[in-house]
Structure 1
Amino acid sequence: MGHPYPIREIARQAGLSEATVDRVLNERPGVRASTVALVKQAVTDLDRQRSQLRLTGRTFLVDVVMHAPDRFSSAVKAALEAELPMLYPAVIRSRFDFRESGDAGEIVRVLEKVGRRGSAGVILKAPDVPEVVAAVDALVELGIPVITLVTDLPLSRRAAYVGTDNRSAGATAAYLVDQMLGPDEGEVLVALSSSVFRNEEEREMGFRATMRSRNPGRVLVEQTDTDGLDVAVEAATLRTLEAHPRITSVYSVGGGNRAILSAFSQAGRDVRVFVGHDLDRDNLDLLRGDELTAVLHHDLRQDMRTACQNIMRAHGAIEGEPETLSAPIHVVTPHNVPELLV
């Protein structure tokens, strides 16, 4: 495996021992395929972060741990890597552990591994359940600050939350849907990916409260526990549409919007209004195709910049204490997609 990096750099990036990395690089037998994949990913990440390796300054190795569909995790990774050179003179190096599904125990095991191998800080998107909160608190005890991203763990000892005000985002979605539907009495599908992510719970609460105040007779139909994965979302939506023939519009809290549209198409039904979240690759394509009415977007690059700065504040490299900042919500339609994303 060709690479320009010292074994110790690859080992640090991969979270493995130098001996293990040496065995992989020299293609010695007895190494698990998953370990080989970790080393290959570490080399790929180092290639993408090459500009940071050339900078001089204090180095912070940050772990990004996320339970989210790949379309969103990829957007977060791209946003972070775009911001890394802007954080000069500090040098931020990043390791990634992304998973689309699985139980909270898997996230806990990842966080425990981070604690054992050392880290300057963790940027975390995870379910708000007691075992994850306990794992976060254990990292803090080790001197590793944790920044929650997009969805918060308010009862944990996390240093700060970075993301949007989710209740306000849900309220904005309700305003858009109700305003565009007008007197139409059709029901609205509220599609979540999971019942254990606080951001989705808060978005739904904001949506329901605002819709109730604007149009108390509007029927909202909830759908959840699909992990936002296309196959599960499509199957769930087909079942929901069969059970609720009056659904005409969608508020997609947790994503999987291609799958939702596919289910409507299979059912021979149109979507009058469709509001979703985040300008990931799927939603950009759907906006360009005029298949989404609007997307509620916030600047992920700003989120990642703030998260890294909060980790540096926690270590005293920047003055001040880590702070929670709510990113502004932007309503994006097919006619105002940000130029940098076109």
Structure 2
Amino acid sequence: MKKISIKDLSTATGLSRATIDRALNGRGSVHPRTQKVIDAALEELQIGDVPAALQDVPIDIVLRVGRGMIAQVAGSLTALGKPSIALHDMYQKNEVEMLDQVRALCADPSRPLILTAKNSEPLRAELAEARARGKRIVTFVSDLPHDTRDAFVSIDNRMAGECAAFVLGGLFGNRGARFGVVIGDYAFSCHEEREMGFRSYLRAHFPGISLVHEARGEDSYEGTRDAVGQMLAAHPDLDAIYNVAGGNAGLADALRMAGLAGEQTILSHEANHITAPLLREGIVDYVLAQDTSAMMGQALRLATLPSLPAESPIHHVDFGVYTRFNIPGFVTPRAPVLHG
């Protein structure tokens, strides 16, 4: 039988060597879907069917996400060691800048594109036209209409919102608790779906709980700090806050500035170098998170396969609920240096 190295599997799947090592040697927990991707790649390599991901395929990754997630993606790509993958960090770029970047990259239909962006009509038109010319497009974390992409990789965002309601509702029951919600922007479908899932589950199962304020933080430190500060000034008696978006450092500083750190129950998204210290300090109580490296590995695989699977183009990855007591192993202690 052909000997397959961890490096071979890392290149084939887009997963980090640490994740591959955990899966092969039982050194820690690995999500079932991640294990399935590794097993499939191992089988392909052993029979000599070299996946396209092994080839030096130029790929563009354009992400408008928070600082924690972009650092995780950058770290996983550094570990992968594929210089043909270009990461374009679009943090806080406006829609004109996003459209200009995507339009420039869509000029070459041979380069697959992995994308996180707001849903806007000009962007949709650009992507649909590029797909018509044969460009492979994979949306990541936040989806776009089906005619603009070939596949979508994310957690199930509506289910994540329902999970948040299940956790917080279970803590407070129907005792008249008052909750606040922090969103980034409804133009991100992931934010909209999480918030919808949260509201609908509370209405169905915890009608005594009131959602009294919605803060819009635009996924940024400053925007979230200011929006949450205004929410706390208006409602200092909130029992819990659910942050569907990024900007967790700003959320924490707003709580500190209001003298309310540790007073409310806080549930947010992502386990990374920003949220892990907040969990340890007791400022954030729960995070809903996935292994971003594994999720990006799935996106890279779908971007480079010669043909896509016949099943649904929506590919959900597993997520978990984490606290200070079970911070996952995929969290790195510090962010890698970002270039470009």
TM class by smaller structure:
0.7 to 0.9
CA contact (8 A) 1:310 1:321 kept: no
Q: 1:340, 1:303 → 2: CA distance? A: 12
| Aligned counterpart, 1:334 | 324
Q: 1:283 aligns with which of 275, 280, 289?
A: 275
Question: 2:233, 2:73 → 1: CA distance?
Answer: 35
- Aligned with residue 58 of structure 2, among 49, 57, 61: 61
What's 2:232 paired with? Answer: 241
Structure (1 or 2) with the larger CA radius of gyration = 1
Query: Whose relative contact order is higher, 1 or 2, with alpha carbons under 8 Å and at least 6 apart?
Result: 2
Instruction: Render the CA deviation track for 1:188-239: whole Å, top value 9, x for unaligned.
Output: 1100111210000000000001111121131113434422111111111111
Distance of 2:279 and 2:301 partners within structure 1: 32
Contact map agreement 1:310 1:323 (CA 8 A) in 2: no
Please say if residues 174 and 206 of structure 2, whose CA atoms lie closer than 8 Å, have aligned partners that are also in contact: no
Q: Which amino acid aligns with 1:262?
A: D
Structure 2: gaps (5+ residues) = 1-52, 333-340
Q: Which amino acid letter does the alignment assign opposite residue 318 of structure 2?
A: P
Equivalent residue for 1:218?
Answer: 209
1:159 paired with 2:156, answer no
Equivalent-residue separation in structure 1 for 2:309 and 2:252 (angstroms): 48
Q: Distance in 1 between matches of 2:258 and 2:54?
A: 58
Structure 1 unmatched runs, 5+ = 1-55, 86-90
Q: Which amino acid aligns with 1:59?
A: D
How far apart are the structure 2 equivalents of 1:320 and 1:208?
Answer: 34
Deviation at 1:307, TM superposition (A): 1.0
- Deviation of 1:117 (Å): 4.9
CA contact (8 A) 2:175 2:208 kept: no
1:272 and 2:269 correspond: no
TM-score by length of 1: 0.75
Cα gap change, 1:179 to 1:154, in 2 (>3 Å): same
Q: Give 1:330 shift.
A: 0.7
Matched, 1:73 2:101: no
Q: Deviations over 1:117-176 (max 9, x none)?
A: 565201100011212211211221232211000000024330100010000000000011
Q: Please tell me whether the aligned partners of residues 192 and 222 of structure 1 are also in contact (alpha carbons under 8 angstroms).
A: no
Instruction: Kindly report which structure 2 residues correspond to 1:97-246, keeping only aligned pairs within 5 A, or say none.
Output: 97-117=88-108, 119-182=110-173, 184-246=175-237
Letter in structure 2 aligned against 1:328: D
TM-score of the superposed pair, with normalisation by structure 2: 0.75
Conservation of the 8 A alpha-carbon contact between 2:138 and 2:299: yes
What does residue 304 of structure 1 align with? 296
Structure 1 distance, partners of 2:123, 2:309, is 29
* Counterpart residue type for residue 270 of structure 2: D
Higher mean C-alpha deviation, range 220-229 or range 283-292: 220-229
Cα distance change of structure 1 residues 161 and 106 upon mapping to structure 2, 3 Å threshold: same
